[in-house]
Every structure is written in C-alpha cells, then in structure tokens.
Chain A
Amino acid sequence: MTIPAATRSVSRAGRAAFAPWLEPGRQPLIRLDGVTRDFGQVRAVDGVTLDIHAGEIFCLLGPSGCGKTTLMRMLAGFDDPDRGRILLDGADLVGQPPHLRPVNMMFQSYALFPHLSVADNVAFGLRQQRLGRGDIADRVARLLALVELTGLERRKPDALSGGQKQRVALARALARQPKVLLLDEPLGALDRRTRERTQFELMAIQRELGTTFLVVTHDQDEAMVLADRIAVMEAGKVIQVGPPRSVYEEPQSRAVASFLGDINLIEARVTQVAPGSVVLACPGFGAVEVAAPNEPVEPGRAVALAIRPEKLRLTPGEGLQGPNRALCRVTDIGYRGDGTLYSVAMEEGPVLRVSQINADREMSQAIGLDDVVTIAFSPTAALVLTR
C-alpha cells in the first residue's frame, strides 16, 4: 500500500523551515522600538519592541483592551505613539498620514463602501493611484478571481453574504499591493463553518502573494492555525513572542500558559535540582520529577507546576504505577463527543481538569461520576513556571 504525499501543505507548521527571525543580522520588515501610547491615565501600549519579517503571518494575540488594536492602528496611521519608533523597511512611519503609508488594513467590520459595487470597492485604492482605466479593470478582475468572486462585480455589499463581504474586503485591501496587510479580527464576524474554510483560504492567498500579514485577534485558535509567530499581549505589553508551538508548549509565565488553551496550574516548591530535571513538592502528588525550566532554580523556590489537560493520563482504579501520579475522585464529566473533559479532585490538593480522546466507542463509558481514578504524567509533559 502506498500513502499519497500531501499535495499542498495547508497548515503553517507544515511550511519547511520558514524562520527568518532566527537568521542573525536579517533586517526585519517592521521594527517596533519602544512604542508607547497613553490614553489619559491609561497606558494602552507600553514599550512594545518587536521585529516582524517579510513574508510572515504575525499574530498579535490578547484579550480585549490589551493594546493590540491600538498597536495596529498606529501601524495604519490612525494613531501615533507618544514615544518610540515604528520602522518600515528602515523608514520611520510616525507622523505620516494613513493615505501615504504603504500599508493597508482589512477592517473588523469590513468597512465596505455601501454605495459602491464590489468592483468599485476593490478599485477604490487603485483609483487613488491614478492608474489607467484598463489597468484598474485588469487588476480588479485578477483580484476578484483570487478571492473567487468573479461574476459578482456589480453587486452592492448589502447583497453579499458574510463570507463574500470578507473576501471583498480582502481583495480591496490587497489591491494596492501593500508591504504589510493589517487584518483586524479577520474571521471574527463569520460563522464557524465559514471560518474554517476562510482560514485556509487566507493562508493560501498569503502564500501565493507573499505579502506580510499582521493579524490582530483575541481568538487563540485563529492565531494558532494562521500564524508563523504569535505575540501574546497583556496590559499593553508583549509578554511572549514565538511560533504557535513554542507559545503553547513552552509558555514562560502563568499568564501566557493560562491565556492559551486550558492548563492546570499547581503551586509547588522546588526540593531538588539535578542536571536536566528538578523535583518539586507538589500538593496531591507528593514529590514529582519534571524537566528543568529554562531559567535556573534553586531548592526552596516557589514555582507553578503547569500541565495541560490533554497531557494527563487517566486510568480507572489504582492501576497506574510509577512516579508523578495521584489518586483522585471524578467530580464532573463533560462529554464532548470526540473527547471527554473530566474534573478530578485529589485527596489533598487542587481540582484538576483531564481530557481524554474517545478513541474507542466504549471508552467514555469506562469512567463514571465518583469513580476512583489514577492520573499520571511524564516528566516532559509538565512545565515549571517561575513567573
């Protein structure tokens, strides 16, 4: 039997070795340098320093009010920082009005001009460049073909579905061939089914054009699927930057760990330090052995043991042997079809969440409410967080 090779790799993770941020000396396309913006007493953006490279899909991820939108608006020119520089290809953009910046934006509301047809919406930016009629018509036709809207040229935005509006907005923002495309919650207004399809279309278009995308979103799933790198923001600051895998699997703080996905955080204390691993005194588990954190720790240090629900193994009864395990009682069962999320309480210690994939149809019936179960994890499944 032969296994067919993937004809086109869709997810960003499948893109072989695209990591310009790792190349020393490489000039970034965008450099944010100590960018700060105050609104009255509130510091919306607080000393953000970031490099974004050409060709990246870069996501600013954070809860509402974290400053990600303000940061994007400063790139577009609708706002300017109080301090700091915003360099694009080495030139400072600060103070330049929006219509002169080689940057375009896809608005969250799409902001399609309701009095103009689809074709006129897409042509709007081209008309400002004083191109010939023929050139404009050609480019509009190519853009509409790119977003698969050929045939809807004469429609008004009100007569389009949500997904179609999104694609008109994308075509309009791409028309001027911006150096950076800013996308404000690009999938936020779409229903779930359209979202998934649109996500992949966005990535395919980005790869075809090679345009740098800067995406602002509060939706971690959206960020994980789309992004080459994610910057997690909180209270105006960037608290961690990295590819989706590293932000998810190697969060550097409790804030990042709990913002991305679900995670159990257990307050613990370091008891022994060995090369490559540490031993923690952890309520409920007793002594647990975990891979050493990046930052050196000394015995006695208060840390958090962080472990995601899918990385805990769950077996009925007192079955599991070995270290890093605890006996628990099931207090809640959330059946989701493809998997089940259990809440388990330890004799002495916190309530943990454990998720299991229902790989067998019988599986979800094996564990019931109030059953005694054993949970366990391997040393590399958990993390030690010092911050």
Chain B
Amino acid sequence: MTRRGSWKRALVPALPMLWLGALFLAPFAIIVRMSLSTAATAQPPYRPVFDLAAGWDRLRGDLGALDLANFATLFGDSLYVASLWSSLKLAGLATVILLLIGYPLALALSRLPPRWKPLGLALVILPFWTSFLIRVYAWIGILRPEGYLNTALLWLSVVDEPVAFLNTDFAIVLGLVYAYLPFMALPLFAAVDRLDPSLMEAAQDLGAPRWKAFWLVMLPLSLPGAVAGALLVFIPAVGEVVVPDLLGGSDTLMIGRTLWSEFFSNRDWPLASALAIMLLAALLPPILIYRAVEARRWETAR
C-alpha cells in the first residue's frame, strides 16, 4: 500500500522530467551531434550518418569523423561573432527600453480600480489575438518612406523629406519593443501588484520624494519580476528572426537571421547547429546568474 503510494508520488516529478528529456535534451543532443558533423550535398545534408546496421567498425569510423571544424569556422569568420554581438546589443537595448516602458505600464495597471484591472490586463494581451507576422508587417506600413509616420511628420512640417525609418536598427529595436512588451509588462505587473501600497506611502512619509521611494522600495521589492521580465524578453529577442528580417536593413546582422540563412539558404546544417550552440552558450550566463540570485533570495527569506 505504502509502496504503491510512493511509486505514484514519484510519478509526479517524473512527468516534467520526461517532458524535459523528450522535448529539450533529445533535440539538443541531435543539434550537438550535427554541429560536430560536416556539411555534404546529400540527403540528409551532412556526414557522417550513423548507421547501426553497418556494424561496429563503421560506427567507430563515423564517430572519429566528428570534429570541431564548424566551431573553428565560427570563430575564424568575424561575421558570426559580429552578428552575435550585434544581436546581444540590439536585444539588450530593447530590454532596457522595455523596462523603462514596462514599469510605468505595470504601475498604472496595478493602480486601476479593481473592476477595471481585468480589462487593462486584457488590453495588454489583446495584440496576441492577431498573428505576430501580420503585426510586424503593419509596422512596415507605418515606417516605410511613404508610410503613416512619415506622412504625419511631413504634414506637421517636422521634417522636409521622408525619414528612412525602415530597414534600420531603430526599426528593429522598435519592433522588438513592440512585440515583447506584454512579456515584460505581465511579470512586472505581477510583482508590483502584490506589494502593499502603504510601503510606498511609508517611504514618502519618512522623507523620501516619490522617485526615491520608487528607487529604495519599489525597485528592490519588484526586482524578481523585473529580472523575470528581462530574461523573458532578452532571450527570445537575441534569437529573433521575423523582426530583423522584415524591419531590419540588408546589412543588419542578427544571429537569428544568420542562423536562418545558414540552415535554409546555404543548407549548411552542421554550421547552423554550431551557431545555435554558440547562441545558447551566450545566453547561459544570464540565466545562471538569475538562478543563483533567486536561490540566495530563498535562503535569506528563511
């Protein structure tokens, strides 16, 4: 009876583990293996292909054919490191802007009267009801030389001739900020809304002007929400494909786009896999730092 009970209880944590194994670790292993292979004009487009039926010797030979040549290419050609660096910069800039927009938005939402809050939150999520691709396309209509923004600026005589907004880094950052705002706003709202409003009042009562009360009380207490929002936004933004592809210029380097063209235009799957691993490695430190900070917070909370 108790044995059966404990067996069933073990099943509960086992399920997410299985999920993680099947949907993350297994594909990741395939990517790693592919990154160590060599591109070939064949189906599948890489060598070696492991064939268990061909016998042990053949398999050993195949294993010996795996090497780090793709990684050498990545670091040898400045294109890849440059595109990773520029992705990190653009995504970082977008994340900072999102934090600056997200806080006022989250604070405004949390101060809505209780019966308006669900509507406010629904409005933040509403854009998801339209296809992401269509929403990014809509920005082309706004940003292009004869688009709405330029028409408005010309009409207001702010500028004399159309400004080239489209196909610039500005457009990419704008697109990223637009696309990822809900992912920043929602965790921030959750963190801010939980706080007792009298904490801010207490800080002001004790002589801190409003901005200082925010800095000394609101910010440290909502930091977990800010970090969660920043990660939720930064990580996918670094690998973003659609936004740089549609809004960015032809000379814009972003790693997602480079990856895409290696996979589909060059059909160099091994090099693309190596690039994907490099991207993952670049994103690992911030995640680990976040985990360490969270763990310490739990420790001290006790």
Contact = CB atoms under 8 A, between A and B. Distances in A.
A193 to B, nearest CB: 26
B202 A99 contact: no
B301 interface: yes
A98 B217 contact: no
The residue among A98, A103, A105, A176 with the most chain B CB atoms within 10 A of its own CB is A98
Interface in B207-240: 207-210, 212-213, 216-217, 220-221
Given A113-B217, A115-B221, A76 B205 contact: yes
B238 to A, nearest CB: 30
A158 B301 contact: yes
Contacts of B213: 99
B207 A125 contact: yes
A156 interface: yes
B300 interface: yes
A248 interface: no
Contacts of A98: 201, 204-205
B205 A104 contact: yes
Contact of A128 (B199, B201, B206, B220): B206
Contacts of A109: 196, 198
B201 A78 contact: yes
A99 B209 contact: yes
A120 to B, nearest CB: 10
A93 to B, nearest CB: 13
Interface in A202-261: none
Contacts of A103: 205
Contact of B207 (A78, A99, A115, A158): A99
B206 A176 contact: yes
A160 B218 CA distance: 22
B74 interface: no
A114 interface: yes
B203 interface: yes
A111 B198 CA distance: 6
Given A78-B201, A109-B198, A113-B199, A176 B220 contact: no
B159 to A, nearest CB: 41
B299 to A, nearest CB: 12
B199 A111 contact: yes
A172 B221 contact: no
A156 B209 CA distance: 24
Contacts of A161: none
Contacts of A115: 220-221
B221 A97 contact: no
B202 A111 contact: yes
Interface in A79-138: 97-99, 103-105, 107-109, 111, 113-115, 124-125, 128-129
A103 B294 CA distance: 38
B196 A97 contact: no
Given A109-B196, A113-B202, A156-B300, A176 B207 contact: yes
A111 B202 CA distance: 6
Contacts of B203: 113, 124
Contacts of A124: 203, 206, 208, 216
A104 B300 CA distance: 30
Contacts of B205: 76-77, 98-99, 103-105, 173
B278 to A, nearest CB: 37
B43 to A, nearest CB: 59
Nearest to B297: A115
Contact of B221 (A108, A114, A125, A158): A114
A108 B202 CA distance: 11
B209 A125 contact: no
Nearest to A169: B202
B204 A97 contact: yes
B207 A129 contact: yes
A62 B52 CA distance: 85
Contacts of B300: 156
Nearest to B204: A98
A279 B213 CA distance: 64
A128 B221 CA distance: 19
B198 to A, nearest CB: 4
A158 B204 CA distance: 22
Contact of A105 (B196, B202, B209): B202
B206 A104 contact: yes
B160 to A, nearest CB: 45
Given A114-B221, A115-B220, A156-B300, A128 B207 contact: yes
A172 B216 CA distance: 16
Interface in B26-41: none
B208 A128 contact: yes
B221 A107 contact: no
Nearest to A105: B205
Interface string A138-174: 0000000000000000001010000000000000110
Nearest to B197: A111
Nearest to A156: B300
23 contacts: A76-B205, A97-B210, A98-B205, A99-B204, A99-B205, A99-B207, A99-B209, A103-B205, A104-B205, A104-B206, A105-B201, A105-B202, A105-B205, A111-B199, A111-B202, A113-B202, A113-B221, A124-B203, A125-B207, A128-B208, A172-B206, A173-B205, A175-B206
Interface of A: 76-78, 97-99, 103-105, 107-109, 111, 113-115, 124-125, 128-129, 156, 158, 172-173, 175-176
A-B pairs, 3 with minimum CB distance:
A128-B207, A125-B206, A111-B202
